[in-house]
Amino acid sequence: MPATTADEDDPKSASQAEIQRRTDPPPLTARRSRTAKVFRLAATGVILVLAFVAAAFVWEFYVAAPWTRDGSVRVQVANIAPQVSGQIVALHVQDNQRVRKGDLLYVIDPIDFEVAVTSADAEVKNREADLQVKNAQSARRQALTTVSTSVEEKQQFAGTAKIAEASLESAQAQLRQAKVNLERTQVKSTVNGRVTNLLMRVGDYARTGTSNISVVDTDSFWIDGYFEETKMANIHVGDTADIKLMGYGPHLAGTVESITLGISTANAAASTQGLPDVNPVYTWVRLAQRVPVRIRIEHKPDDVPLVAGMTATVVLGTGRAPLPLWFTGLRQRLFAFSASGDQNEPR
């Protein structure tokens, strides 16, 4: 039979030992285990909050916010055509040269037009002299009161004078036209801009109404952003635009000027039989159409050139409640990252 101690046989001593065991601090390993568990729970909570914030941000930037990487720089080009025909005898510009509205571009041989002005001027003088003679004759006939001059003869002389007057007006109109044609031998720029793709040279023949020189209108640059139709509900005229051109760090600022009301559709084309050519639609793959949005450029950094056809990434501000500064900054950094991402990614 095992031996027992006095403390083990004493119930009072046993209860005091149990109370002492419960009030004593737990061992160090147990405290560390509890601390680690609390830390893991707190870390999990922080990660969940961060994941929620990141998911909300990604949803805001990629789904809800109207933005596109499919933007393009656009510009108007003045295709200048002569209003008279003739051989080009002088060229006053070079390719890619800056010009102002009214600057002389080239000159058409003016000799034939100078001759036309001289001939028309001589015709005017001839008609003026003829009108003077007719008016004098009519005045003398009207003054005659003899029986030999009838009323019909007086009317006839008056009509002759009116015909001479009409002939003079016609000659004067021809003279004005001849002078205008002479002025048109000097072809001038109709816009402020830069000559582009210049192929003409002295000796070429210029034909009336046929464009032979193009000038990029540098006052007409704008941005076309092609936005998915799923984002059109958040796009309005007057929204601000943040624009970044591929290859350049500084951003441009703009404003939504207008939204296109129609795009072409392949289903509208007629088949060889004249029937509608309707393409098959795969219901499990529905790609959103892209709608052009015209953006007026409000501010452009001096070190960022504008070239028609350049690729732009556009983010629009919808006028909703402002986001926190840290959120806006993070969004701008993601925008810059997206704009400078894989350039070969299909859009």
Q: Tens digits of per-residue pLDDT, 164-219?
A: 888 899 999 999 999 999 999 999 999 999 999 999 999 999 999 999 999 999 99
Would 148 be classed as within a structural domain?
yes
Q: How many domains does the chain have?
A: 2
- Calpha distance 168→171 (Å, rounded): 5
Range of the domain at 70: 65-75+221-339
Q: Are residues 286 and 164 in the same domain?
A: no
Measured between its terminal Cα atoms, the distance across the chain in Å is 90
> Domain of 230: which CATH number?
2.40.30.170
Nearest CA among 243, 288, 291 for reference residue 264: 291
Specify the DSSP class assigned to residue 230.
G
Q: Are residues 86 and 174 in the same domain?
A: yes
User: Would you state the pLDDT for residue 324?
Assistant: 44
Nearest CA among 17, 11, 179, 194 for reference residue 93: 194
Would 301 be classed as within a structural domain?
yes
Q: Are residues 91 and 210 in the same domain?
A: yes
Q: Considering 183, 216, 249, which residue would you say is the last residue of a domain?
A: 216
Phi, psi dihedral angles at 321 (to 5 degrees): -60, 140
Read off the pLDDT of residues 103-129 as tens digits, 9 standing for 90 and up.
999 999 999 999 999 999 999 999 888
* Reported confidence tier of residue 102, pLDDT bands at 50, 70, 90: very high
Would 37 be classed as within a structural domain?
no
Would 30 be classed as within a structural domain?
no
Would 57 be classed as within a structural domain?
no
Nearest CA among 189, 198, 183 for reference residue 102: 189
Would 5 be classed as within a structural domain?
no
Nearest CA among 279, 293, 284, 285 for reference residue 228: 293
Would 279 be classed as within a structural domain?
yes
Q: Are residues 201 and 85 in the same domain?
A: yes
Q: Are residues 233 and 326 in the same domain?
A: yes
Read off the pLDDT of residues 260-319 as tens digits, 9 standing for 90 and up.
998 888 777 887 788 888 877 777 777 788 999 999 999 999 999 999 999 999 988 854
Residue 12 confidence (pLDDT) above 60: no
Between residues 310 and 158, the one the model is more confident about: 310
| Whether the Cβ atoms of residue 138 and residue 161 lie closer than 8 Å to each other | yes
* Reported confidence tier of residue 133, pLDDT bands at 50, 70, 90: confident
Q: Considering 173, 194, 216, which residue would you say is the last residue of a domain?
A: 216
User: Would you state the pLDDT for residue 268?
Assistant: 78
> Domain of 175: which CATH number?
2.40.50.100
Q: Are residues 232 and 255 in the same domain?
A: yes
